[in-house]
């Protein structure tokens, strides 16, 4: 009976695979054993650096796993890494990112910087056009930068543009939008931007979505619906063709893009898959060429079974938990916050939970950001036993004991990896401090909304991935009134230091100011640092043309697909092939994605009570290695 049930399950899986069309025309099969897996032909490059057409796959279609579904593709209102990936394909700023993550000319062919580093003059290319054929010029960038900073736009990312002269006053509604330090010069192809002070990362900032141009007539014609399929006019390598909520976002090659002849990919599918384990499964049956991440408990299994597909590289990001300082029990209670910070063993989390080379973190800014050395608190050099001892003393000082126990909740967005970290933290708090914790899981948009409203959140999953290579990107989130300040943090000394950073020209002095600002922030116990990020994903070996980089920016226009060795013409896999593939996938199944969790999943927000259990043993259970 078991054998019959297994065969039926395999057949059902095969039948579900056939209509999805996830396997390419050349029958790539990621579910089979490594030695039997289809391999790409050897790459042959022409003298100009482009791949020889003879090695290219017949179908140039890329399917990228993209984590959470974006809430909007309006570049001035979008928030989060998944939206940024798509927007970098749809739009192009004055500057752009190369395949190796370097800042290179984009819509602007060149630029001049004044001696005091406060005035940037951009000279646009004269052959630019929008995807609808209309010419694109400097006035489009003037309109777009003004729109991004207009109070009515309510951009979550607008604060990144505060280095522009009068931007702070314009955003606050204190000055008219025309007073923003952005203006046309001699002709319609020359743009000048004046800053409040030297901003070393400004060229990188111009390559981020909040600085992208939008078509004025397009926005005025469709209003808030301008960024939907059939409406959106863009200027990047691809155009928006389709958006099926929670299923796919499809982009098509833009024939009017300035480098369309060099863009080989014809179509890009962005697939929203919130669970990393589900992404891995879809990758294994050929439905994805790229995953946004991989489950933390499958590292050893993936190393063994997908050594050529697993790609790990440094990333300019920090993972931490945040305190809501506007709600009890954290209002004016630094002792309690520090107790919770100290009681977390980051070495266990990175060694037993994340397990992909992440570094334990005790600061906000990750290492390797433009040579900056982050502030490190004194407790970073203590043993974990010393931290635990001090944590217990501080908890008692804050007024909590067996007679007056503390109950908390950790709120996070749907993700198996986030859940594992929350479970580990809650288990450590229980073991070290006797604190009981509930875990609340929310859909991404609901989670972000609750964070911003600061009403129901107490401790919440947080973190930051920088769009540009500068520590200021991390620090500015905590400025008083910043739209990304979901912590309710306000410190006049911290704000004043950020103001000085914005006007300091000498690099060494600027770094000292940022170091002092980070010291103030970390001394106020606003966040719980956990680790600094690495990017970790599976990539189809047939997919080439991209390079790992610390920003983890990978525009699709640099990519292309190689054909398989011995590949035939465009014959689709048969149903028999699908059954064989499904059987192989089941036979070599990876470890269970979630391990033994403390409570069953339910629809909507979930509250998981963490029982009293040794943290290291529990983490081992949650992340036990599996095999084929």
The SS3 call for residue 369 is coil
Q: Are residues 270 and 386 in the same domain?
A: no
Given a cut of 90, whether residue 15 has pLDDT beyond it is: no
Contacts of residue 567, Cβ cutoff 8 Å, sequence gap at least 6 = 26, 27, 38, 57
Residue 367 lies in a domain: yes
Given a cut of 70, whether residue 195 has pLDDT beyond it is: yes
Residue 325 lies in a domain: yes
Instruction: Quote the percentage of the chain above a pLDDT of 70.
Output: 84
Report angle CA 130, 290, 207 to the nearest 5 degrees: 35
Domain count across the chain: 3
Q: Are residues 96 and 137 in the same domain?
A: yes
Q: Pick 388 or 35 by higher pLDDT.
A: 388
Residue 87 lies in a domain: no
Among 572, 588, 544, 558, CA closest to 28: 572
Among the candidates 469, 500, 534, a domain finishes at: 534
Q: Taking the CB of residue 375, how many other CB atoms lie within 10 A of it?
A: 20
pLDDT of res. 35: 66
pLDDT of res. 290: 94
Report cis status (omega within 30 of 0) of the bond before 223. Answer: no
- Domain with 361 in it: 313-534
What value does the mean pLDDT take over residues 174-192?
A: 95
pLDDT of res. 11: 34
pLDDT of res. 416: 85
Q: Cα-flanking dihedrals φ and ψ of residue 54, to 5°?
A: -70, -20
Q: Are residues 194 and 271 in the same domain?
A: no
State both tokens at 488. Answer: 């309710």
Q: Pick 505 or 437 by higher pLDDT.
A: 437
CATH code assigned at 191: 3.90.76.10
The SS3 call for residue 125 is coil
Q: Are residues 267 and 359 in the same domain?
A: no
Given a cut of 90, whether residue 193 has pLDDT beyond it is: yes
**Cα-Cα-Cα-Cα dihedral sign, residues 287, 290, 291, 296:** positive
pLDDT tens column, 579-626: 334 434 444 566 654 433 333 233 334 455 454 433 333 333 333 333
pLDDT of res. 356: 84
Q: Are residues 154 and 60 in the same domain?
A: no
pTM (two decimals): 0.75
Residue 161 lies in a domain: yes
Contacts of residue 144, Cβ cutoff 8 Å, sequence gap at least 6 = 76, 211, 212, 213, 214
Q: How does the average pLDDT of the chain come out, rounded? A: 86
Q: Are residues 515 and 492 in the same domain?
A: yes
DSSP calls for 552-587: ----GGG-EEBPBTT--SSPPPPHHHHHHHHHHHHH
Q: Are residues 322 and 279 in the same domain?
A: no
pLDDT class of 567 with cuts at 50, 70, 90:
low
Given a cut of 50, whether residue 549 has pLDDT beyond it is: yes
What value does the mean pLDDT take over residues 487-516?
A: 92
pLDDT class of 512 with cuts at 50, 70, 90:
very high
pLDDT tens column, 346-369: 999 999 998 888 999 999 999 878
Residue 608 lies in a domain: no
CATH code assigned at 401: 3.10.105.10
Residue 112 lies in a domain: yes
- On whether the CB atoms of residues 143 and 133 are closer than 8 A, the answer is no
pLDDT of res. 30: 58
Residue 466 lies in a domain: yes
Residue 617 lies in a domain: no
Q: Are residues 389 and 484 in the same domain?
A: yes
Q: Are residues 438 and 499 in the same domain?
A: yes
pLDDT tens column, 362-407: 999 998 787 789 999 999 999 999 999 999 999 999 999 999 999 9
Q: Are residues 510 and 558 in the same domain?
A: no
Q: Are residues 281 and 179 in the same domain?
A: no
Among the candidates 491, 516, 534, a domain finishes at: 534
pLDDT tens column, 253-277: 999 999 999 999 999 999 999 888 9
pLDDT of res. 442: 95
Interstrand relation of 459-465 and 407-413 (parallel, antiparallel or unpaired): parallel
End-to-end CA distance of the chain: 23
- DSSP 8-state assignment for residue 402: S
- On whether the CB atoms of residues 595 and 297 are closer than 8 A, the answer is yes
Among the candidates 213, 247, 279, a domain finishes at: 213
Q: Pick 444 or 432 by higher pLDDT.
A: 432
Q: Are residues 555 and 528 in the same domain?
A: no
Distance of CA 65 to the CA centre of its chain: 12
Contacts of residue 479, Cβ cutoff 8 Å, sequence gap at least 6 = 159, 485, 494, 495, 498
Distance of CA 288 to the CA centre of its chain: 18
pLDDT tens column, 196-238: 988 989 999 999 999 999 999 999 999 999 999 999 999 999 9
User: What are the residues facing 195 on neighbouring strands?
Assistant: 164
CATH code assigned at 239: 3.40.190.10
Phi-psi domain of 369 (left: phi exceeds 0; alpha: psi -120 through 50; beta: other): beta
Interstrand relation of 359-360 and 527-538 (parallel, antiparallel or unpaired): antiparallel
pLDDT of res. 390: 98
pLDDT class of 566 with cuts at 50, 70, 90:
confident
């Amino acid at each position: 009976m078991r054998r019959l049930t297994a065969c039926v399950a395999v057949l059902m899986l095969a039948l579900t695979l056939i209509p999805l069309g996830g396997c390419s025309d050349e029958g790539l099969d990621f579910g089979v054993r490594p030695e039997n897996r289809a391999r790409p032909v050897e790459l042959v490059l022409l003298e100009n650096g482009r791949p020889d057409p003879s090695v290219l796959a017949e179908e140039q279609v890329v399917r990228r796993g993209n984590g959470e579904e974006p809430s909007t593709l309006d570049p001035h209102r979008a928030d989060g890494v998944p939206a940024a990936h798509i927007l970098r394909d749809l739009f192009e700023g004055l500057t752009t990112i190369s395949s190796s993550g370097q800042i290179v000319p984009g819509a602007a062919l060149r630029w001049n910087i004044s001696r005091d580093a406060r005035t940037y003059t951009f000279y646009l290319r004269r052959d630019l056009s929008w995807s609808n054929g209309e010419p694109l010029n400097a006035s489009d960038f003037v309109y777009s930068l003004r729109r991004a900073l207009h109070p009515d736009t309510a951009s979550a990312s607008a604060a990144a543009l505060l280095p522009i002269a009068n931007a702070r006053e314009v955003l606050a509604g204190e000055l008219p939008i025309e007073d923003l330090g952005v203006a046309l010069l001699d002709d319609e192809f020359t743009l000048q931007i004046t800053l409040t002070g030297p901003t070393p990362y400004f060229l990188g900032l111009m390559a981020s979505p909040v600085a992208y141009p939008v078509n004025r007539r397009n926005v005025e014609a469709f209003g808030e619906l301008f960024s939907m399929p059939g409406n959106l006019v863009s200027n990047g390598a691809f155009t928006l063709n389709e958006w099926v909520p929670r299923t796919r976002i499809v982009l098509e090659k833009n024939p009017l893009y300035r480098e369309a002849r060099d863009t080989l990919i014809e179509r890009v599918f962005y697939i929203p898959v919130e669970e990393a384990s589900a992404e891995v499964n879809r990758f294994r049956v050929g439905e994805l060429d790229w995953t946004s991440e991989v489950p933390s408990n499958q590292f050893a299994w993936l190393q063994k079974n997908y050594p050529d597909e697993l790609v790990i590289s440094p990333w300019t990001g920090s993972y931490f938990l945040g305190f809501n300082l506007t709600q009890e029990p954290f209002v004016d209670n630094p002792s309690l916050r520090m107790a919770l910070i100290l009681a977390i063993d980051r070495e266990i989390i990175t060694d037993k939970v994340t397990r992909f080379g992440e570094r334990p973190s005790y600061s906000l800014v990750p290492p390797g950001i433009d040579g900056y050395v982050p502030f490190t608190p004194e407790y970073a050099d203590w043993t974990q036993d010393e931290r635990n001892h001090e944590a217990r003393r501080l908890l008692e000082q804050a007024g909590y004991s067996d007679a007056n126990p503390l109950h908390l909740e950790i709120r996070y967005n749907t993700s198996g990896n986030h859940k594992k970290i929350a479970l580990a933290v809650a288990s450590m708090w229980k073991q070290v401090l006797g604190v009981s914790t509930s875990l609340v899981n929310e859909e991404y948009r609901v989670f972000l909304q609750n964070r911003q409203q600061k009403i129901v959140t107490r401790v919440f999953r947080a973190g930051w991935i920088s769009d540009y290579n500068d520590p200021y990107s991390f620090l500015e989130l905590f400025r008083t009134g910043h739209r990304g300040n979901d912590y309710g943090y306000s410190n006049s000394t911290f704000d004043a230091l950020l103001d000085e950073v914005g006007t300091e020209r000498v690099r060494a002095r600027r770094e000292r100011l940022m170091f002092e600002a980070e010291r103030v922030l970390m001394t106020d116990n606003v966040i719980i640092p956990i680790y600094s990020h690495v990017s970790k994903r599976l990539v189809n070996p047939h997919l080439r043309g991209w390079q790992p980089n610390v920003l983890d920016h990978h525009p699709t226009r640099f990519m292309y697909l190689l054909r398989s060795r011995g590949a035939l013409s465009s014959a689709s896999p048969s149903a028999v092939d699908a059954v064989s593939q499904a059987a192989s996938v089941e036979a070599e199944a990876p470890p269970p994605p979630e391990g033994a969790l403390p409570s069953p999943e339910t629809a909507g927000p979930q509250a998981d009570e963490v029982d009293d259990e040794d943290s290291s043993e529990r983490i081992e259970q949650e992340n036990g290695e599996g095999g084929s």
